[in-house]
Structure 1
């Protein structure tokens, strides 16, 4: 059975209410189109994992879809706050959410542990930090070889991981160029992996083999969505839409304006809209 399918089908067949789900991409390749499809399908009670929650998680939280967020840094990149996330935390609007905060290093190690099938990640970290005082998931263990005290946290094991990439080949291998964050680890840690791509090509002939971040057997479904990372950028295809991030700061600051924007730009939109949004970037 082909892994290639429309995004609507890929989301519907691989995500369900109450799932633990990761949307990963660092600086670029953030899977906004996939997140918008999840919003359109109206999933509930999701546990959202992301190293750097930004606009897409602000939108999902604002739509009342999240019950818990596991993260390191949360913010509108280069602009400021995640106002919908803050409203949920401070005022319980549109619902209360549980937050579990970690460091970047902890998040990366937790994905790597999940990818390795381990129950926890062990690493050097949190020395002199206050996070262990407010996050009971942060424990310490003693190295049996050196006696050194190390940090330990639960492994990330998402039910579904969504990522965006430049290319897939017809066999279903996935290629990423430019900055690679934790996409590979987040995918290998998950039970199911959905990838949106800018294009599908016959093969990767002439490209460096190390760009093939995920072989086909690690991927559940692939959907072609041109512009699928907008307003973040996709290296080699389109630039970051800085104006969209500035606009979001204003939109997200007002509950009614947020609802109107989401209705017009997400609920009534289609994946094809993303291709139009990146023209001229």
Structure 2
């Protein structure tokens, strides 16, 4: 596709997300694409490599649903609450299936996206010194600066098969506007082979907004309208974070039976 196509969320996931893909659902604190993650669960995608700097509830849910074979990340948890218990169960007990992990620093992950978006094979940074991550992570190496002789960390470029992000709005041509805490959404979209953006609404014109990022239609494959598509995280200017949902997830995710009941309820709800 040369420009973004506006389609339903089920249609977009069916077209863009395939079994075995490396899938990045990026969002930091807010604009987390929960609706898209839930649709991936409903469509029972399998053997995915899930990529994200800060996997939280939606990745815990996808791991528990059996979607993930591998997780590439730099931090994981239920923000302000505790652990991701479905992720822990997969790592410790292989339930519902074994999970491979590849761990980086935040700076390493961000630089990997930047390298991928820039068409470069790797990125260079000062980092990882004093950690044993390079001993366990094949996408971390060292290079020597040809100008100073300094030894630096190198991280392989990250080019997901598909990146999915949530944004506040798009116009009818498929140009997307997002603002607030934007994390690495822009870089993750530009690094991906395919991209899907869910939005709160479609508008006739994108009004100038302080600090907003505009992703032009030509870098996006599909736009899907998903009101409250970031809930229980928040979308600045639209709704607040549902802190009670994050607390409730801790109890649900600790127990396989409670999680399975939650999963069946999710699958029974339409997008």
- Identify the match of residue 84 of structure 1 among 63, 67, 86: 86
Normalized against structure 1, the TM-score is what? 0.93
Q: How far apart, in 2, do the equivalents of 1:230 and 1:149 lie?
A: 43
2:231 corresponds to which residue? Answer: 230
- Once the two structures are superposed, residues 173-227 of structure 1 have per-residue CA deviations (whole angstroms, 9 ceiling, x without a partner) of 110111110000000000111000001111124445x624311100100011100
Aligned with 2:173: secondary structure?
A: coil
2:7 corresponds to which residue? Answer: 5
1:268 corresponds to which residue? Answer: 268
1:157: how far off?
A: 0.5
Describe how 1:1-281 pairs up with structure 2 within 5 A: 3-208=5-210, 211-264=212-265, 266-271=266-271
| Maintained 8 Å contact 2:73/2:103 | yes
| Maintained 8 Å contact 1:197/1:222 | yes
**Structure 1 unaligned residues grouped into runs of 5+:** 272-281
Aligned with 1:252: secondary structure?
A: helix
- Once the two structures are superposed, residues 78-129 of structure 1 have per-residue CA deviations (whole angstroms, 9 ceiling, x without a partner) of 1000000000001111111110000000000000000011111211111212
Q: For residues 212 and 57 of structure 1, do their structure 2 counterparts lie closer, same or farther at Cα, with a shift above 3 Å needed?
A: same
Q: How far apart, in 2, do the equivalents of 1:205 and 1:2 lie?
A: 19
Q: How far apart, in 2, do the equivalents of 1:213 and 1:118 lie?
A: 23
Alpha carbon RMSD of aligned pairs, Å?
Answer: 1.2
Aligned with 1:99: secondary structure?
A: strand
Q: How far apart, in 2, do the equivalents of 1:212 and 1:98 lie?
A: 34
- Once the two structures are superposed, residues 104-156 of structure 1 have per-residue CA deviations (whole angstroms, 9 ceiling, x without a partner) of 00000000000011111211111212222222321100011111111111111
Q: How far apart, in 2, do the equivalents of 1:199 and 1:37 lie?
A: 18
Q: How far apart, in 1, do the equivalents of 2:182 and 2:155 lie?
A: 23
1:270: how far off?
A: 2.2
Q: How far apart, in 2, do the equivalents of 1:228 and 1:74 lie?
A: 21
User: After TM superposition, where is structure 1 displaced by more than 4 Å over at least 4 residues in a row?
Assistant: none
1:274 corresponds to which residue? Answer: none
Q: For residues 206 and 140 of structure 1, do their structure 2 counterparts lie closer, same or farther at Cα, with a shift above 3 Å needed?
A: closer
Bigger shift: 180-189 or 120-129? 120-129
Normalized against structure 2, the TM-score is what? 0.97
Number of residue pairs the alignment of both structures matches: 269
